[in-house]
Amino acid sequence: MMKIYFKKIEVIKQRFVELFSNMPNNNTLNETEHPLIRSTPPQPSLFQRTCSESKKLCHIAAPSIFTRLAMFSITVVTQSFAGHLGDLDLAAISIACTVLISITFGFTLGMASALETLCGQAYGAGHHRMLGVYLQRSWLVLFLSSILMLPIFVFAAPLLKLVGQPVAVAEQAGLVAVWLIPFHLSFPFQFTLQRFLQCQLKTAIVAWVSGVALAIHVLVSWVFVYRMRIGIVGTALTIGFSWWISVLGLLGYTLFGGCPDSWSGFSSEAFVGLWDFFKLALASGLMLALENFYYRLLLIVSGYMRNTEIAIDALSVCVTIYGWESMIPLAFLGATGVRVANELGAGNAEGAKFATVVSVVITVLVGFVFWLIILFFNKNLALIFTSSSSVIQMVNELSVLLAFTILLNCIQPVLSGVAVGSGRQAIVAYINIGSYYMVGIPLGVLLGWLLPSAIVGMWTGMMSGTVFQTLILAIVTMRYDWQKEVRKAQILIKEEASSNQ
């Protein structure tokens, strides 16, 4: 009996041994063998995501801000030297730079943003070699376009007289415009090289080259104006000289080893798809040209006012300060375009959307800071450009309008940057036409007629057009289907790759 009992115990013991031997050992248990205790990596908080995205944006935008400020300051330095030559010289170079150059500058800069779309998406998808092909394609299209715009400079004097500018100002501005042609011809190479390098996050070299160009320009301007006393023609020539110094610096870096992955030499592939690139570039050019020229219309209106030279000088100071500050939102336009294009090219819809939100918040904060600066230092703004008490007084009167214009124009460039990153420049061009030229200008003319000060009324109406434009762009951006944008970007990249093969 006892033998039977011990035998049963032995059988039960054997079964327990078999059972426990088949169970996983705690020492060897891993996440894949037991789903109940599988650990997931902690998701970053909203604050951490915001900080990370802000760093990525600022990594692109900060050197770009310095670059834009440095290159724009070349024109500002020139206007400052011209302002101390006389009121007529300041009025002439202000008209030439803030009206004539702004047309070609805005159009060429906008056309270059097509490169931002294509290079940004190709870089995000890892097709680095295509960036060099796109760069060469952009040189062909933009340089031919800049040649077609030369009549604006050749016939500047009669065109300015036609729109009502005083004869003396128009003649002097026409003289300056001819000597600004080298400056104009640098745009196709300057803007495309900047975007080519920016899309690869090589922004530091662009900033260094721009800083060197600005330092050279200050020195050359001082020599030409004060030592050699060449006058207004010398000041105009120094702008083109300094911009070409920057172009040669960026070109040397690109061609001689700075971009081994994206530049593999000149290629016949640059001649493939020129028409498609031109259509995208044309929409981009119209988008930015219409926006860039909008507030410059105030200078043309000032030609019909009393004390014409003083009005032109005061408005040119305001427009120059506005343009100076707008380099920051425009840098975020570029940064947003690159970030959105990179994320769409990589197939990350959520990342593109989040980059948009963070960029809008940052630029609004920047705009508010400049709004405060202009309101607090309104009496000292014009001293940088002129010593004329009448011009300083008029700038002081217009400073409140200037402050609110700057604040309003901080959101719109970022929303345009989203369109650039996703290749929707044509939509923004239509919105700009409707908002600026069908709402802002007519309302500005009406208020200019109703209010005691024509220039204040005109400016107020044009600000209303900016508000209308910003609201429409915000609605369009909020209704984006980001997954659809990802699919579009990937299809475009595949089509480009197959066509070049």
Which of 198, 210, 189, 96 shows the shortest CA–CA distance to 146? 189
In a domain, 182, yes or no: yes
Q: Give residues with Cβ within 8 angstroms of 229, minimum separation 6.
A: none
Query: Does residue 13 belong to any structural domain of this protein?
Result: no
Question: Which residues of the chain are modeled with pLDDT < 50?
Answer: 1-3, 5-6, 8-9, 16-17, 19-39
pLDDT for position 181: 92
280 in any annotated domain: yes
Question: 146: exposed, middle or buried (C-beta count within 10 Å: 0-12, 13-18, 19+)?
Answer: buried
pLDDT of residue 457: 80
pLDDT in the model for residue 422: 76
The torsion angle over the Cα atoms of residues 403, 409, 410 and 416, rounded to 10 degrees, is -170
Residue 495: inside a domain, yes or no?
A: no
Q: What's the pLDDT score for residue 248? A: 94
Within-domain flag for 42:
no
Write the CB contacts of 280 (distance below 8 Å, at least 6 apart in sequence): 114, 117, 118, 423, 425
How many domains, in total, are found in the chain? 1
- Domain presence at residue 364: yes
pLDDT of residue 302: 59
Residue 34 lies in a domain: no
The reply to whether 461 falls in a domain is yes
pLDDT per residue as tens digits for the range 353-404: 888 888 888 888 888 888 888 888 777 777 766 667 777 787 887 888 888 8
Q: What's residue 500's pLDDT?
A: 56
What CA–CA distance (Å, rounded) separates 168 from 178? Answer: 16
Question: What residue numbers bound the domain in which 332 lies?
Answer: 48-489
